[in-house]
Amino acid sequence: MVAPLLAVDKLSVRFRLNTGQVLQALSEVSFELQAGETLGIVGESGCGKSTLARAILQLVTPAQGEIRWQGKRLNPHDKVGMKAFRRAVQCIFQDPLDALNPRMTVSDILQEPLLALRPELGKAAIRQRAAEGLQAVGLESAMGNRYPHEFSGGQCQRIGIARALSVEPQLILCDEPVSALDVSIQGQIVKLLADLQRDHHLTLLFISHDLSVVRELSDRVLVLYLGRIMEIADAASLYQNPLHPYTRMLLEAIPLPDPQQERARLAKITVGAGELPSPLNPPSGCVFHTRCPQAQAVCREQVPIWQRLGGRWVACHFPLGSQ
């Protein structure tokens, strides 16, 4: 049996604050990602999506759990193995302009990861790859002589994508890659990512709070709430028939372009009253029970166990449609 490209097993991350309080950012998160797959990770701000990405990249140290890459546990003390992992896994960031060094030309920005991770290619080949990288994302190679401030937000994100692709990675972590862009540009970037994934046989981990964006790319969707997984399902099933009340809340929050339909949508919203609880003092039992209209006593007292329902996984005492 072929091992998944990436496996996360019971991963927990905690941060100790200057006040002495402990913030539980992730709690026993587990999932697998197959080669060539796109897994969307969704949830409100503060639910742990970016922390999960940083933990996978070994930028924060997990309190417990493990991360396996191609069947082997990642060891941050293994310099050779970590260098290979850094080359195989690249990132696309939320703020396209902030992610680019303003003192470097675009050509130098694209060459930088190659000089660090693929020096054996030689300087001439690296310069050629940088020019080809711009063309691959819909920009002209002559633009390599310009600086980031000379480009629009959408163009800067294309440069960021070209930079991530330059070392020929297997997995790209996309951390809210279109949230800072105009709606009209978002669609272009999502289409570009889909085309590049197909052409380069990429695996994507796509983080977003916008389920309408995630729908366009994802094969499966993982729903996070206060650091815990609520539901994992294939995209089609999740959007058509969510099993967790929190997933339904996120779907009901997707705005509609037609004003009449939007008013009707707002009138039908049934869950999600109140604000997201503080991760410094999360609710007992099911962390969503304070906002869930079908919560019962057991929801306040016990953390729900994982249930497999029709090929999908959900952490809920009373999954939707199962009563």
- Residue ranges and CATH numbers for the domains of the chain are 6-240 (3.40.50.300)
Q: Give me the pLDDT at residue 257, please.
A: 57
**Rounded to the nearest 10 degrees, how much is the dihedral formed by the CA atoms of 186, 92, 252, 185?**
0
What pTM was computed for the model? 0.90
DSSP secondary-structure letter at 189?
H
Q: Give me the pLDDT at residue 268, please.
A: 57
Q: What radius of gyration do the chain's Cα atoms show?
A: 21
Q: List the one residue out of 229, 233, 253 whose CA is nearest residue 243.
A: 233
Q: What is the pLDDT of residues 236-293, one digit of tens each?
A: 999 999 999 999 999 988 766 555 554 555 555 554 556 788 888 899 999 999 999 8
Q: Which two tokens stand for residue 240?
A: 């058509």
Q: In this structure, which long-range contacts are made by residues 22-28, counting pairs with CB atoms below 8 Å and at least 24 apart in sequence?
A: 22/280, 23/279, 23/280, 24/227, 24/279, 24/282, 25/51, 25/227, 25/279, 26/51, 26/52, 26/55, 26/62, 26/227, 27/227, 27/228, 28/65, 28/228
Q: Which two tokens stand for residue 28?
A: 């026993």
Q: Give me the pLDDT at residue 213, please.
A: 86
* DSSP per residue, 218-272: -SEEEEEETTEEEEEEEHHHHHHS-SSHHHHHHHHTS--SSHHHHHHHHHH--S-
- Name residues of the chain where pLDDT drops below 70: 1, 255-274, 322-323
Q: Give me the pLDDT at residue 97, please.
A: 87
Q: Give me the pLDDT at residue 210, please.
A: 84
DSSP secondary-structure letter at 180?
T
